[in-house]
Amino acid sequence: MIVSPNIHFVGIGGIGVSALAKYYLAMGATVSGSDLVSSEITEDLARQGVEIKIGRHKKNNVPKNTTAVVSSPAISEKNAEVKEAHARGILVQTYPEALGELTRTYQTATISGSHGKSTTTALVSLVLEEGYFDPTVIIGVKLREFGGSNFRRGRGPYLVIEADEWNRSFLNYSPEHAVVTNIDREHVDTYKTLHELEETFTEYLAKVPPKGVIVANADDPTLAKVSRKFGDKVRWYSLRDPEAVLIKPILKIPGEHNLSNALAAFKLGRALGVFEHDILRGLSRFSGAWRRFELRGVINGAFVIADYGHHPSEIKATIQAARDRFPLRRIWCIFQPHQHQRLQFLWDDFVTAFDQADRISFLPVYDVAGRETAAAKKQVNSLKLAGEIEKRSKDVSYFDSFDDAKKAIRVEAHPGDIILLMGAGDIYDLTKELTEI
């Protein structure tokens, strides 16, 4: 673990990086940071006493008394602040490296998987909190249960973290226990084949020590194939489990995918010795995460719901959850694709992902800096996707800008409609512009 009184974070506005910054702030360190744009995350950190520089990264952003630098995994070694730190002989680590060191100082439970990581991490955290484990939590989403924060400071020996497979980040971590929700084709800029992804998850799960447990989703065939290699260490969960009957009525979050996430938290809680009534109380407390089927307000009598889903599997699950929760209402999904390369690689899956929606609208693709290819940007875009889906006799439209989308929603939203604004990019800003609650 970094033992440093003065830590500077490059890319501090990232959801994971900001949580780690809050950890060190809570431990008494002086924390500074920089990011290209201001956000509610950076504004919240500033209110907590973090000195933040907004705008182009510059070497002068690194305070003179800095003793360690942590950079977002999206930050290049050529970044001006990273180069300045190296020039001064300051310790530099990426976010996964710094978090990896932290995992070795706790009894760490990692939650990974292609989908459902944040929700499952939240549920595990609340289960352990109710079980008097008093965990420290670093999570990639803001929770009402943590006072609107993505960090919880605990006094117990347990650390619960969300473990991302992108760029093989989770190989930096040392889990004593690992929960895996599923393995799906995702992060195509890191994994060229599903087999490569399976091998990386195998390497990750091999880190769990003999005394630890692996909680794995038996309903996911790819994950089941990988997890079987670990024999008695695995605790399986499934929607067919009898516990599902106990959990479903108490969950405040909709959809079978969330019931599955709750079962994962139940199984880990049981494996760690949490009493069943405490597990159920923890699961029942969860009111939903930031940008996960989050009700943002009402416009023209229509419910505006924000969701982070950006992979076809997530889109299908979220629209189905909306259909289950509101079976007689019109569902209007407004989607901002996230990364041209993902759209290109999973094109056929995207074409069918919106079938349960009554109306679909698309915004331009959100470019991810440093993760796009010229070929993908040339071959696919939102307008082409809208045209392809229109061939399936669906009600489809395309908005060239947020302003166009706002105008249409304000005119065409009707009482009782469910308006799902989905995507992992800046589409969340559109929900804020439409209405605040």
- How many structural domains are present in the chain? 3
In a domain, 191, yes or no: yes
Q: Are residues 214 and 341 in the same domain?
A: no
In a domain, 36, yes or no: yes
Angle 35-37-43 from CA coordinates, rounded to 5°: 80
**CB burial string 312-326: b at 16+ within 10 A, e below:** bbbbbbbbbbbbeeb
What pLDDT is recorded for position 345? 82
One-letter amino acid for residue 21 of the chain: A
In a domain, 1, yes or no: no
Residue 295: beta bridge partners?
A: 305
In a domain, 99, yes or no: no
User: Which residue has better confidence, 173 or 321?
Assistant: 173
pLDDT of 76 > 70? The answer is: yes
Percent of the chain with pLDDT over 90: 63
What pLDDT is recorded for position 360? 94
pLDDT of 372 > 90? The answer is: no
What pLDDT is recorded for position 3? 55
Which residue, chain included where needed, has tokens 């943590």?
A: 146
Mean of pLDDT over the chain: 90
Q: What tokens appear for 194 in the block? A: 């599903």
Q: Are residues 126 and 228 in the same domain?
A: yes
Q: Are residues 229 and 256 in the same domain?
A: yes
What pLDDT is recorded for position 1? 46
Q: Are residues 270 and 333 in the same domain?
A: no
Q: Are residues 90 and 131 in the same domain?
A: no
Q: How far apart are CA 91 and CA 4, in angstroms?
A: 10
What pLDDT is recorded for position 377? 80
Band of the pLDDT at 31, cuts 50, 70, 90? Answer: very high
Q: How far apart are CA 161 and CA 128, in angstroms?
A: 13
Q: Which of 73, 94, 115 is the last residue of a domain?
A: 94
pLDDT tens digits along 283-328: 999 877 667 778 888 888 999 988 888 888 889 888 988 888 888 8
Q: Are residues 280 and 240 in the same domain?
A: yes
Domain that holds residue 313: 294-434
Q: Are residues 353 and 390 in the same domain?
A: yes
Q: Are residues 114 and 187 in the same domain?
A: yes
Q: Are residues 233 and 373 in the same domain?
A: no
Q: What is the CATH number of the domain that holds 63?
A: 3.40.50.720
Q: What is the CATH number of the domain that holds 171?
A: 3.40.1190.10
Q: What is the CATH number of the domain that holds 421?
A: 3.90.190.20
Helix %, strand %, coil % of the chain (to 5): 40, 20, 35
**Model pTM?**
0.77
Q: Are residues 309 and 417 in the same domain?
A: yes
Angle 170-159-249 from CA coordinates, rounded to 5°: 95
In a domain, 100, yes or no: no
Q: Are residues 273 and 331 in the same domain?
A: no
Q: Are residues 303 and 273 in the same domain?
A: no
In a domain, 419, yes or no: yes
Least confident of 12-16, 214-218, 366-370, 396-400: 366-370
pLDDT tens digits along 209-252: 999 999 999 999 999 999 999 999 999 999 999 999 999 999 98
Q: What is the DSSP letter of 384?
A: H
- If 0-12 CB within 10 Å is exposed, 13-18 middle and 19+ buried, where does residue 359 land? middle
In a domain, 233, yes or no: yes
Q: Which of 262, 285, 308 is the last residue of a domain?
A: 285
Task: Output the CA–CA distances (angstroms, integers) from residue 73 to 16, 44, 47, 370, in the order listed.
Answer: 10, 21, 25, 11
In this structure, the chain runs to a length of 437
Q: What tokens appear for 156 in the block? A: 């117990």
Q: Which of 255, 285, 315 is the last residue of a domain?
A: 285
